[in-house]
Amino acid sequence: MTTEAPSKGTIEPHFDIETGGEVIGQNPLLQNGVKVVNLEGETVGAFLINMQIPEGNTFNEGAWKYFWTKKEAQKEQLVSILLTGIPMEEAQLALATFLGKFVNLGVKRANWTARPAAFDFPPVKYWYDRTMGGKTINVDGTEMTAPPLGFKAFCDSTMRDVVAMVTGTNKNDVWAQWTEGGPPHTHNGYDDAASQQYAHARGVEHIRSLAEDLREMKRLRTDNAPLQARVAELEAELESLK
């Protein structure tokens, strides 16, 4: 767990989770990895935590059969998580403390980002709010209320899908373009958060490039307005000679 001073009071936590299924409160949240960057894309924080399976939580049959036990690498990862996981409340306190360090550094805003946010953000928020919501914590000698996660997260999947729709490109090809040359996707929470942060930065550059192309098209259309008007006049003159 590391933190450094960000810029302009805003951070972008890119995060990824590993779970035992999609039903919050029934399937376990097993791992949460967060890579935090500032507005210039520089890494200012890193966080990875493994969690014990909460009492009453069980694995979804599909997640168990087709993800956690299908490949040897996933089996080894699950064993590692189960051996090193800590109780849920301790894990969420660690996350609150991690975020509190940024509060002490003057951070006022956190733009949470995931792929897909609709899957990753709800269980993170559920367990964090359930265990830490409104509680007082001590961060490096400073007492504060556990920093809230907010109520939304930016979705890289949606950003990708919109670009694919606008450009008429296959969404998988768009994502492949954004991830090319970046950190590998390993199904480790921090590794995947880092991979997604790289893709996010490439995606933002892509969108800015598309916006610049659009502005250039508008400029050319505006610059050619007199010529277009003259063409219309000549066409009218030709029409009158018929």
**pLDDT at residue 30, as a whole number:** 97
pLDDT for residue 241 is more than 90: no
Centre a 10 Å sphere on the Cβ of residue 93 and count the other Cβ atoms it contains.
19
Task: Render pLDDT for 46-97 as a digit per residue (tens, 0 to 9).
Answer: 999 999 999 999 999 999 998 999 999 999 999 999 999 999 999 999 999 9
What is the average per-residue pLDDT within 103-113?
A: 94
Q: How confident is the model at residue 215 (pLDDT cuts 50, 70, 90)?
A: confident
What is the average per-residue pLDDT within 25-50?
A: 96
pLDDT for residue 230 is more than 70: no
147 within 8 A of 109, measured Cβ to Cβ: no
pLDDT for residue 234 is more than 90: no
**pLDDT at residue 210, as a whole number:** 85
State the amino acid at position 115 in one-letter form.
Answer: R
Give me 118's structure tokens: 């609709």
**pLDDT at residue 213, as a whole number:** 75
**pLDDT at residue 200, as a whole number:** 96
pLDDT for residue 29 is more than 70: yes
CATH 3.30.70.2740 fits 2-222, yes or no: no
Phi and psi of 133, rounded to 5°?
-55, 120
Global pTM value: 0.86
Average pLDDT, rounded, for the chain: 90
120 within 8 A of 114, measured Cβ to Cβ: yes
pLDDT for residue 242 is more than 60: no
pLDDT for residue 120 is more than 80: yes
Taking the C-alpha atoms of residue 224 and residue 233, their distance in angstroms, rounded to an integer, is 14
* Percent of all residues in the chain with a pLDDT value above 70, rounded to a whole number: 86
CA distances from 59 to 20, 90, 129, 145 (A): 5, 21, 22, 33
Centre a 10 Å sphere on the Cβ of residue 77 and count the other Cβ atoms it contains.
19
Three-class SS of residue 18? strand
**pLDDT at residue 167, as a whole number:** 87
pLDDT for residue 236 is more than 80: no
Which is higher by pLDDT, 165 or 98? 98
Phi and psi of 13, rounded to 5°?
-80, 115
Task: Render pLDDT for 146-200 as a digit per residue (tens, 0 to 9).
Answer: 999 999 999 999 999 999 988 889 999 999 999 999 999 999 999 999 999 999 9
Burial class from Cβ neighbours inside 10 Å (0-12, 13-18, 19+) for residue 76 reads exposed
